[in-house]
A and B are shown apart, each in its own frame.
Chain A
Amino acid sequence: MSLDPRALALQEEQPPRPAAPGKKWVKSVRVQNGIDTEVWEEVDADAGSSGPSWGARADLRLLNHDLRRIDGPDKVTGRAVFTHDVRLAGMAFAQVLRCPHPWAKIVRIDLEAAKKVPGVLGAVVLEGEEVKWLGRPIVAVAADTPEHAEDGVRALVVEYDVQRFAITPEQSQAPDAPKIAGNRDNVRVHETEGELGAVEQALGECDAVVEGTWRIPVQHHACLETHGVVVDYRGGDSATVYASTQGTFTINSDAARKLDLKGARVTAVVEHMGGGFGAKFGMGLEGDAACKLSKELGRPVHMLFDRASEFLAAGNRAGGVHVLKAGAKKSGELHAFMAQVERHGGVGPGSNQKQPYIYRPATSYTQVKSVLTNTDSSRAMRAPGHPQMSFAMEGLMDDLAYAIGMDPLEFRVRNVPPDRRTTYERQLRLCAELIGWNKHPHRTAPDRSEGELKVGIGFALATWGGGGGPECKVEVRLLPDGSVEVYSGTQDLGTGTRTYVAAIVAEELGLELAQVTPHIGRSTYGAANASGGSTTTASLAPAVKHAAWNARKQLFEHVSTLIGVKPESLRCVGGRIQDVNDPDSNWIGFKEACAAVGGKGISAQGEWQRNLAGSGVGGAQAAKVRVDTLTGEIEVLHMVGVQDCGLVMNRMATRSQLNGGMIQALSYGLFEERVVDPDLGLVLNANLEDYKIAGCKEIGLVQAVLDDGDDNRGVIGMAEPAVVPGQSAIANAIMNACGARLREMPLTSDKLLMALRGAKRG
């Protein structure tokens, strides 16, 4: 099938059919196959007209401002209790034995010696008789201390029947490679789009053609808090599970299955969690282990992975190879494009990666396949697939721009999707201004001059859906003493959920932030979606707003009779409820109003409101690097990120996330790579000194700018786009600085020196 993305966009210019009575069509952005796509959705025609609205941005007192996190003091004093910190009476500490082979059948497991180790309380065998990746937990041991649990693990006796395995994609594509997934081929073609012949013909029409092979290593999430749970099941029909998770409600359902209890009888608690980045949905084998042990021992079990397990058995970002070839016309048109994409997801299919990313060639052909290996399966990781796609595509874009002698920024503007050109162009030009591109002497060709220290600048773009959905239920309670409590089962991954939950309610009720107490992270509170795909805020914030709005309406009904003013003439302002027509003399204090409601107080529910959320974000980033052409040292001097995200809940916390995205991308670009011995299958850097993540000294000036240019949209998540383009901008800056195109991450000195030698010879 011939598929021209522009033609697709045109086809969808109009809704598929006339709207039903009482309905209307709206355009939303959804992520489909890792690429966000605009889709038409039929919604109620009067949505938003009578319900809550965010109001004019200029009128907001708290939202869209810099807010201090409510839980900041807990985090800086050590009071914040993470799952790792849960300490219960009689609690046992557990650890796991990991399979030391990439593929083995388990012949015999002997727990007896381990059970006799001083302090050991019990040991359980985890499901699975055949293990297809090194590091998979096999047995879990619980003891009175973590040290004794380790002793117990060391005393375990397991006999393996080691199988032939394939570690590298090359090995698993060899003719005699063992078949990793039953009779299925190790290589699977997922999709083919476009007509190769048409692209080949179009390449002939181009003024310049470039090609290259981009190689992307496997990245680890490296959450500082490892995966794990504390399962407290002492018999009976209920249990409590404390979890380091991105989804409160993924835990109680999983744990209930494992403990054979009813879902509602298991309470999941996620007070604070130390980083997820996509790897922490549901209970993994560590959760199964804790459930089994707690059930067997009748006491709470603390089962948090050690650091090595975190690297070996807790997921990763899929690697890949992107072979790209493309041509452009002198006019700046990206005319022809072809891609062969290979995804490396271990025993899994690898995350979504396809091409072309963001830019719209006139003709394109893409084939995507995955290659299985005997390594741990990849999991979702912040913007699954996008950083990989970006690294290859953005490199190709710069190479093409230089090949036709065009400024890469202008080449980007020329080839982004037309309907998002305004946004991207605004963001790119702001990046250019802040990073000094306009005064940079090498804007249409890399600086290939002699010289030791050279400075270059590069750009890259991001795209994400980030919309919300009707998954959250929120309760706002107004108590007779005037206290305001908000309840949602949602989890805070470090984005500042607690704070904006309170801020939305305080804003609606005319109160200060400190007057509202948020309660989150407990499955006994209202349902909430798991935090994936930057959908938390756009799902939760509208429901919180709706609950607060309902609470205010109920309160106004009471106040109306008290002070003789119609509810529609009442406003919440500065801790008072007042008559809009006579605010100075006709008012009642918020506390007095709550007291007047009486003993039962007010309980208001909220659900998702489509008109309060938006979807579809862009984002541009720029990097300035200095390279030392003698030593190959690469130093990132400055990064700029310009990110749109609709209505911002907390500007300071959002800048934090944008900073964090840029820094993670820098880390991915310069340092991160899982290194596996191809013969033994051993992961050689399953610890935090050999697997390097960026520290204080590796980052330069990081500048986060929130783009309010499209300021009429509701709430949209932005965590994912922030992490997409940084490494691509850095690679482009290196190219700009010295003419060396590094097509393999991490971008290290040795690769730079080799590329410089190649460039000189070439």
Chain B
Amino acid sequence: MSHDQLQPADAGDVRAAFTRRSLFRGAGALAAGSIVADAARSAAAAPSVRLEGALEIELSINGAAQKVKVEPRTTLLNALRNHCSPPLTGAKLVCDRGSCGACTVHVDGRPVYSCMTLAIDAVGKKVTTVEGLAKGGELTEVQRAICEHDGSMCGFCTPGFVMSITACLERKPDATLDEIKHACAGNLCRCGTYPHLFDAALAAGRALRAKGGK
């Protein structure tokens, strides 16, 4: 995708919807997955829709509908952290441009960078955040394994890794070490917890397979 494709027919009208930052995000979307790319494409194809100021939208977050007031440019990440009630601050704002994975959430079951996704593009989709994984306070196998293998130090990257590993193992509970590394290649950890996270992911896969085999 090029910047040209993002230019709407009536650029003046939609400028409020696409700031320099969102254009930038769109330009990086090829690497980040198709969620943002789709959004940008549909917006470009429908330039007559003028989005400006605060909008009330309804998001489906962790199984519950939630009305939030956001701007067209508000990212899903900022909507979760700053506009939800109570605030969902598990997903972290770190790089703000799809480089580190700390903001990873699931949209319709797929891991996405919520800093690269506009909140308005999550309308009609099922958003799951790290807060929504443990049901009834019981940790998931991935969460439990990360605790058991010391897969977090400062913990700022941890929610992102939890979401990436969870998505990987949901797709493929017998993921190999290389597949786990691949699934987490978009997540950065500065403390260097990777080896213990890998141990945890492999252990969680084993636990999930044991459960599935029951």
Contact = CB atoms under 8 A, between A and B. Distances in A.
Contact of A225 (B74, B154, B193): B154
Interface in B99-113: 99-100, 102
A347 interface: no
Interface stretch (A1-9, A260-268, A658-666): A658-666
Contacts of A225: 92, 94, 154, 156
Given A78-B89, A689-B97, A693-B188, A493 B181 contact: no
B78 A689 contact: no
Contacts of A696: 180-182, 184-185, 187, 194, 198
A93 B97 CA distance: 19
Contacts of B154: 223-225, 272-275, 493-494
A74 B89 CA distance: 12
Interface in B137-195: 139, 142-143, 146-159, 162, 180-182, 184-185, 187-195
B17 interface: no
Nearest to B130: A78
Contact of B156 (A221, A274, A306, A653): A274
A697 B155 CA distance: 20
Contacts of B25: none
A76 interface: yes
Interface string A254-285: 00000000000000000011110100000000
B195 A659 contact: yes
B146 A76 contact: yes
A310 B129 CA distance: 26
A145 B187 CA distance: 26
Contacts of B191: 275, 494, 656, 660
Given A224-B92, A495-B153, A76 B158 contact: yes
Contact of A688 (B71, B100, B149, B198): B100
B195 A224 contact: no
Nearest to B96: A307
A78 B192 contact: no
A603 B181 CA distance: 49
A660 B191 CA distance: 5
Contacts of B147: 68-69, 72-73, 76
B91 interface: yes
B41 interface: no
A275 B190 contact: yes
Interface in A639-696: 652-653, 655-657, 659-664, 687-689, 693-696
Contacts of A652: 149-150
Given A224-B188, A688-B100, A146 B150 contact: no
B90 interface: yes
B179 to A, nearest CB: 11
B78 A146 contact: yes
Nearest to A146: B78
Interface string A70-82: 0111111111111
| Interface residue range, chain B | 35 or more
Contacts of A73: 139, 143, 147
B156 A688 contact: no
B58 interface: no
Nearest to B196: A656
Contact of B159 (A78, A663, A687, A694): A78
A592 interface: no
Contacts of A77: 90, 130-131, 133-134, 139, 143
Contact of B192 (A81, A223, A661, A697): A661
B178 to A, nearest CB: 9
Nearest to A650: B150
A697 to B, nearest CB: 5
A66 B87 CA distance: 34
Contacts of A494: 152-155, 191
A65 to B, nearest CB: 12
A146 B154 CA distance: 24
A116 interface: no
A660 B153 contact: yes
Nearest to B144: A76
Contacts of A66: 150
Contacts of A663: 192, 194-195
B43 interface: no
Contact of A85 (B74, B89, B97): B89
B61 interface: no
Contacts of A273: 154
B93 interface: yes
A306 B89 CA distance: 16
B49 interface: no
A87 B89 contact: yes
A702 interface: yes
Contacts of A655: 150, 196
B95 A307 contact: yes
A595 interface: no
Given A145-B82, A696-B187, A306 B159 contact: no
B95 A695 contact: no
9 contacts: A93-B82, A224-B188, A274-B154, A275-B156, A655-B196, A656-B191, A659-B196, A689-B99, A696-B181
Interface of A: 66, 68-69, 71-82, 84-85, 87, 93, 145-147, 221-226, 272-275, 277, 306-307, 493-496, 652-653, 655-657, 659-664, 687-689, 693-697, 699, 702, 704
Given A82-B92, A225-B154, A689-B97, 15 more contacts: A69-B147, A73-B139, A73-B143, A76-B162, A77-B90, A85-B87, A146-B82, A147-B73, A224-B92, A495-B153, A653-B153, A656-B191, A656-B196, A659-B192, A663-B192
Q: What 3 A-B pairs have minimum CB-CB distances, sorted nearest first?
A: A78-B90, A660-B192, A274-B156
